[in-house]
């Protein structure tokens, strides 16, 4: 979850005008910020995903979210400053305002610039605010950043597949070449061989039955064999 941690320095506020009961954390995207140096303290609205100027969370005087103040009344002749406090914007919690309204601490967008300000509320409902901070850019989360491990794994897998394919093709061609060598080694060359098929296809003269005796006499006369 993307968020911002703010440290409020000690002595930023004091309780001269009454005990500090709550701290409001204002936030806005830099792209949507007004030109004012401080937040609009009349705009006590909870944040939405659009992150217009809003209150992200309420903290009590000890800097604890959603816990009512337990400070006892005392003399204000010697004002007591606030201690150093730490606030978080964007952690997804829900805090309650002094008016018992829920304020969701909306997660912030990754790789986006925001400015924040802290306002202190006293018992007489007076709000005093710091100036807007300098722009703070949220980090690029692993989900939105390129997954280097996944990319490397896919690359290695593709290389292995290509190597396997090349190896299989090489083995196939080698076996085919060896088989051709074996076939040529068993073939006998005989220049005097007779083409039986051509011999069978040789045409012969048809002899009519009525002419058979005459043909036979001619064959006897021309033949060296004795009939």
Burial class, 201, CB count within 10 angstroms (exposed 0-12 / middle 13-18 / buried 19+): exposed
> Is the residue at 59 inside a domain?
yes
Distance CA 134, CA 222 (A): 127
Same domain, 150 and 125: no
Same domain, 37 and 125: yes
What distance lies between CA 150 and its chain's CA centroid?
9
pLDDT tens string for the chain (227 positions)? Answer: 578 898 999 888 888 878 888 999 999 999 999 999 999 998 889 988 888 899 999 998 887 885 444 444 444 444 667 888 899 999 889 999 888 899 999 999 989 999 999 999 987 778 899 999 999 999 876 655 556 677 888 888 999 999 999 989 888 888 888 777 766 555 555 555 555 555 555 556 666 667 767 777 777 776 655 55
Report field, pTM of the whole predicted structure over 0.85: no
Domain that holds residue 161: 146-184
Same domain, 179 and 108: no
> Is the residue at 223 inside a domain?
no
Q: How many domains does the chain have?
A: 2
Cα dihedral 44, 46, 50, 51 in deg (nearest 10): 60
> Is the residue at 225 inside a domain?
no
Same domain, 40 and 66: yes
24, 117, 185 from 70: Cα distances, Å: 17, 24, 104
> Is the residue at 14 inside a domain?
yes
> Is the residue at 68 inside a domain?
yes
Looking at 137, 162, 195, the residue that finishes a domain is 137
> Is the residue at 205 inside a domain?
no
Distance CA 196, CA 202 (A): 10
- What is the DSSP secondary structure assignment for residue 46, as one 8-state letter? B
Q: What Rg value do the Cα atoms of the chain yield, rounded?
A: 50
> Is the residue at 227 inside a domain?
no
């Amino acid at each position: 979850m993307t968020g911002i941690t703010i440290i409020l320095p000690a002595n930023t506020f004091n309780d001269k005008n009454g005990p500090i009961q709550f701290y409001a954390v204002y936030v806005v995207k830099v792209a949507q910020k007004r030109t004012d140096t401080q937040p609009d303290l009349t705009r006590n609205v909870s944040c939405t995903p659009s992150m217009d100027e809003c209150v992200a969370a309420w903290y009590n005087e000890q800097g604890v979210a959603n816990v009512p103040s337990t400070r006892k009344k005392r003399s204000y002749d010697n004002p007591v400053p606030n201690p150093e406090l730490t606030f978080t914007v964007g952690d997804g919690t829900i805090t309650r305002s002094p008016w018992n309204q829920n304020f969701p601490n909306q997660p912030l967008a990754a790789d986006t610039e925001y400015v924040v300000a802290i306002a202190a509320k006293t018992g007489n409902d007076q709000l005093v605010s710091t100036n807007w901070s300098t722009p703070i850019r949220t980090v690029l989360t692993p989900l939105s950043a390129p997954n280097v491990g996944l990319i490397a794994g896919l690359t290695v897998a593709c290389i292995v597949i290509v190597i396997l394919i090349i190896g299989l093709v090489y083995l196939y061609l080698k076996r085919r070449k060896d088989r051709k060598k074996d076939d040529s080694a068993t073939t006998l060359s005989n220049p005097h061989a007779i083409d039986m098929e051509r011999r069978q296809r040789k045409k012969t003269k048809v002899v009519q039955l009525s002419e058979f005796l005459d043909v036979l006499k001619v064959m006897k006369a021309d033949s060296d064999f004795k009939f």
